[in-house]
A and B are shown apart, each in its own frame.
Chain A
Amino acid sequence: MSESHRNGKVIRIEVLRYRPEQDEEPFLQAYEVPFSDDMSVLQGLQYIKDWLDGTLSFRWSCRMAICGSCGMMIDGEPRLACKTFLRDFPAGAVRVEALAHFPVERDLVIRMDDFLAKLESIKPWIIPKEQRSIAQGEYLQTPAQLDVYEQFSSCINCLLCYAACPQYGLNPDFVGPGIMALLHRYNADSRDGAAAERMEIAGSEAGVFNCTAVGYCSEVCPKHVDPANAVNQNKTRAAGDYFLRLARPKGGAK
């Protein structure tokens, strides 16, 4: 990209770097990046990688806020780098760090093994209440039934809500907001019948009761999912399961 496109504007991008083979701990490194008003923070990082420092590592893919790869702390807030624009930092500087509360693999790349293991554990697919044969036709659903879970299905696994959740930072065993949003997405689906199985996780010591209703997870979600609502609705459900399990012995955790 030639310099003439950039109207002479320059922003200072400070990146928290960590190279495990040589650094004992992360450190800030600043880059002077020429930019134009249509450039995202992600494009700023790509400029650094292409022109200034090829060793900088970060994840990205779609550049249009749907793949969920480029989540990072931008001036202390969990944001998607592709959805945040350099023009919105009028002080002429912006600080970029790896997503909070996750171990740093390298530079802006976090380790998400824990999230993936939890994702698998909640069985994030529809487990039908009743199996239907092809001859019996589709599983029908009314618009009202769709409305109950639809927003939760917008999750793109970007992990911003985890970086917004101090309870996950304090106790990484906590299943956390994003997983609970997905768990609720399936539990609340009228076609699904596995809520009792998933209750083993929601009602466990790693489950919903680690949440103290900070609510910031729902503020930072780039897809307007309300994970705090998923977690807290399931507190009521887990409490009901806890107190009613004697009356209704099947289902739920041991």
Chain B
Amino acid sequence: MKPAMKRSNAPIFWGLFGAGGMLAALFGPVLVFVTGIAVPLGIILPADAMSWSHMHAFAQHWAGKGLLFVVVALFMWHAMHRIYHSLHDLGVHAASATRFACYGLAVLATLLAAGALLAVGF
């Protein structure tokens, strides 16, 4: 083992991974059901639950903005951290390249989500 050990910066990414993983575990299944199954098919929930007027108003409200941002960004950070480690598991060890690609994608998704939510207005 190397005598001088460098402190790992992993806590930042591990923290985002953990927060996103917990969010996806608690709310992932129900969100998929609502946005991808119940509303499109009009079962259980009204078919117009995600109409323009509803969702636009929701995204304009600060709380709605916050929820949408947290879900998209944290799901992405969770997934990309796990995919980064899975690439390592599968033998893709180009650490800095895969790290840049995975976390870069998460940064990009975070910025796009923030941009879209700001563009929706208040």
Contacts and interface: CB of A to CB of B under 8 A. Distances in A.
- Dominant secondary structure at the A interface: helix
Contacts of B89: 166, 170, 212
Interface in A178-234: 200-201, 203-207, 209, 212
Given A166-B89, A212-B89, A235-B14, A203 B1 contact: no
Nearest to B13: A209
B11 A204 contact: no
How many B residues are at the interface, by size bracket? Answer: 10 to 19
A154 B14 CA distance: 29
Contacts of A166: 89
B1 A238 contact: no
Interface residues of A, number: 25
A253 interface: yes
B85 A212 contact: yes
Interface in B45-101: 85, 88-89, 91, 93
Contact of B11 (A118, A239, A254): A239
B6 A204 contact: yes
B43 interface: no
A136 B89 CA distance: 53
A205 B11 contact: no
Contacts of B14: 209, 235, 239
B1 A205 contact: no
Contact of B5 (A117, A205, A243): A205
B7 A118 contact: no
A203 to B, nearest CB: 6
B11 A238 contact: yes
B8 A207 contact: yes
Nearest to A242: B11
A209 B8 contact: yes
A173 B1 contact: yes
A114 interface: yes
A121 interface: yes
Interface in B1-54: 1-2, 5-12, 14-15
B14 to A, nearest CB: 6
Contacts of A173: 1-2
B11 A121 contact: no
A247 to B, nearest CB: 15
Interface of A: 114, 117-118, 121, 166, 170, 173, 175, 200-201, 203-207, 209, 212, 235, 238-239, 242-243, 252-254
